[in-house]
Amino acid sequence: MPQEIKSPEIKHYAVYTTGEVEKLLKISNSTMKRLLKKGLIRANKVGKQYRIIGLELLHLVSPEVEKKAVKVYLGVKKKVIEKTSNW
For the chain, what are the domain ranges?
15-84
Q: How confident is the model over 57-61, as a mean pLDDT? A: 85
Over residues 36-53, the pLDDT tens digits come to 998 888 999 999 999 999
Report DSSP letters for 28-83, one per residue.
Answer: -HHHHHHHHHTTSS--EEETTEEEEEHHHHHHHH-HHHHHHHHHHHHHHHHHHHHH
Instruction: Inform me whether the pLDDT recorded for 2 exceeds 60.
Output: no
Phi, psi of 46 (to 5 degrees): -120, 110
∠ Cα 71 34 11 (to 5°): 50
Sign of the Cα torsion 27, 30, 33, 35 reads negative
pLDDT at residue number 7: 59
Over residues 3-36, the pLDDT tens digits come to 555 557 888 899 999 999 999 999 999 999 999 9
